[in-house]
Amino acid sequence: MPRPLNLLYFVCHDLGRELGCYGASVATPNLDRFASRGALFSQVFCASPACSPSRGCAMTG
């Protein structure tokens, strides 16, 4: 039987790539540690603003 997939999806308004794990000079130790143990997406984009339209698409498919 396959193991269940745990997925944690962060949506932060206007955050962009301003995290230490992406090379920014901002201290984000907890998110950096989390990214080092999981998947870090480096070639992605958001087709709409990370606000209500984007969250609605993510929640409804």
10 phi, psi to nearest 5 deg: -95, 130
Q: Does a structural domain hold residue 31?
A: yes
Q: Please choose, from the candidates 55, 15, 21, 58, the residue with its C-alpha nearest in 3D space to the C-alpha of residue 40.
A: 21
Q: Does a structural domain hold residue 11?
A: no
- Name which residue leads in pLDDT, 37 or 11: 37
Range 1-21 average pLDDT: 79
- Can you give the pLDDT at residue 31? 85
| The overall pTM is greater than 0.85 | no
Q: Does a structural domain hold residue 36?
A: yes
Q: Does a structural domain hold residue 55?
A: yes
Q: Does a structural domain hold residue 5?
A: no
pLDDT digits (tens, 9 = 90+) for 14-51: 777 788 888 889 888 988 898 888 878 888 776 666 66
- Can you give the pLDDT at residue 46? 66
Enclosing domain of residue 39: 20-60
Instruction: Give the contacts of 50 (CB within 8 A, at least 6 positions apart).
Output: 11, 12, 13, 14, 15
Q: Does a structural domain hold residue 15?
A: no
Total number of domains constituting the chain:
1
Q: Does a structural domain hold residue 47?
A: yes
